[in-house]
Amino acid sequence: MPTILITGAARGIGLAITERLAASGWDVIAGVRDERAADELRAPNVTPVILDITNPDQVAELDQVLPQRLDAVVNNAGIVVGGPVEALTRISSDTSSMSM
């Protein structure tokens, strides 16, 4: 079976992609921000992982739970910085100055 990592898998588009691909036989690693969301996603071929993309430690630890090979990645998680609309060129992976 192919394996995919989906970030932001707890709701909206990420949840829909997770459900659709799991139903199609994919092994889905579903990145979610909290345990409640992880518990709701547990299914035979869905492996939820706690992953807040604004948490550098969680991102760094991701390699410990990933298989050796991924067939696809959907980076669906998002953040809002500086208000409703922020230029993509001004967004950085440095979260030290972000407030949530």
In this predicted structure, the answer to whether residue 96 has a pLDDT above a threshold of 70 is: no
Asked whether 62 and 23 are in contact (CB, 8 A), the reply is no
In this predicted structure, the answer to whether residue 26 has a pLDDT above a threshold of 80 is: yes
The pLDDT tens digits of the residues spanning 5-18 come to 999 999 999 999 99
Q: In CATH, what is the architecture of 3-90?
A: 3-Layer(aba) Sandwich (3.40)
Q: How far apart are CA 78 and CA 55, in angstroms?
A: 13
